[in-house]
Structure 1
Amino acid sequence: MRRMAIRLENVGIAVRDLEAAISFFTDLGLTVLGRDTVRGEWTDTAVGLDGNHARIAMLQTPDGLGRLELFEYIHPAAIESEPTRPNEIGMHRVAFSVDDLDEALATAAKHGCHPLRGVATYEDVYKLTYVRGPSGILVMLAEALKKD
């Protein structure tokens, strides 16, 4: 049986403030590939919302392999919800490998984002932590302990 080709295109996250989210993720090292405002029948159909209208930005990791699409709804109005907790069912975090966890945490702190509890060490493999990013997004930051 022939296996269908598949690859991860991006992770999309609705945010309260697009500019604040872009600032956070670009300070961590991602770059903005593009921005747009989308609306119309095609987006109503694709997203499944009548009158869908959003400002969007596509960001990319320095290695070019990971992409993050951020979107701020103009219409329909964004629905505020409680920030996701790590043990809730469903998508709840985006994870990044970083060269220097202390530097990444200093950058996150400039945006008012701090570890939920602290920095942990997973065996002899990673130092890692979760921070609550802009719009309540859970962001995992991990530094490999054994450098190649």
Structure 2
Amino acid sequence: MAITFENVGIAVRDIEAAIAFFTDLGLTVVGRDTVSGEWTDTAVGLDGNHARIAMLQTPDGRGQLELFEYIHPEANQTNPTRPNDIGMHRVAFSVDNLDTALEAAAKHGCHPLRGVATYGDAYKLTYLRGPSGIILMLAEKLQKR
């Protein structure tokens, strides 16, 4: 059986704010739509499913995020996920300059949960909370000297 990774889907409170955040990090919007109807009810498993969606792609073309903002049923607000919670954990991105990425995130009020760490001689990285409480890991590969 062949399998190919398609995307990560994330429900957001404000799709415009989430799009602005992720495009400032370097992703590109490759599609937008509003979806509803029997097919979405069946696929998602929610009656009356109606949502705004946006597909964003990384510059290398290998990764995609699907953001969706529910119009109906009303989105459920839960406590923000913590790094040790079971289930969907975080979205990770490699960046060529962590400081520049953190400056872009800060424009949206998003800052490292604790700070920036170095993993051996391989990565400089941090976790931050993005729009709608999404946990992101941003990592810059350290140059071998």
Same fold (TM over 0.5): yes
Shift of 1:92: 1.5
Task: Say whether residues 1:13 and 2:10 are aligned partners.
Answer: yes
> Aligned to 1:143, what secondary structure does the other structure show?
strand
Kindly provide the CA deviation profile for residues 66-98 of structure 1, in whole angstroms up to 9, marking residues without a partner as x: 000000000000000011000011112100000
Per-residue CA deviation, residues 19-66 of structure 1 (Å, 9 max, x unaligned), is: 000000000000000100000000000000000000000000000000
Question: Which secondary structure state, in structure 2, belongs to the residue aligned with residue 72 of structure 1?
Answer: strand
Q: Which residue, out of 55, 65, 68, partners 1:68?
A: 65
Matched, 1:58 2:55: yes
1:1-148 → structure 2 map (5 Å cutoff): 4-146=1-143
- Detail structure 1 runs of 4+ shifted over 6 Å in the superposition: none
- Give distance in 1, aligned partners of 2:101 and 2:23: 11
Q: Counterpart of 2:100 in 1: which secondary structure?
A: helix
How far does the alpha carbon of each residue in 1:112-148 deviate from its partner, in whole angstroms, 9 at most, with x for none? 000000000000000000010000000100000026x
Q: Which amino acid aligns with 2:64?
A: R
**1:7 shift after superposition:** 1.1
SS of 1:23 mapped into structure 2:
helix
2:117 & 2:66 partners in 1: Cα distance? 28
* TM-score under structure 1 length normalisation: 0.96
Distance 1:79 1:110 in 2: 26
Counterpart secondary structure, 2:42: helix
- What is the aligned-residue identity percentage? 83
Unaligned regions of 5+ residues in structure 1, if any?
none
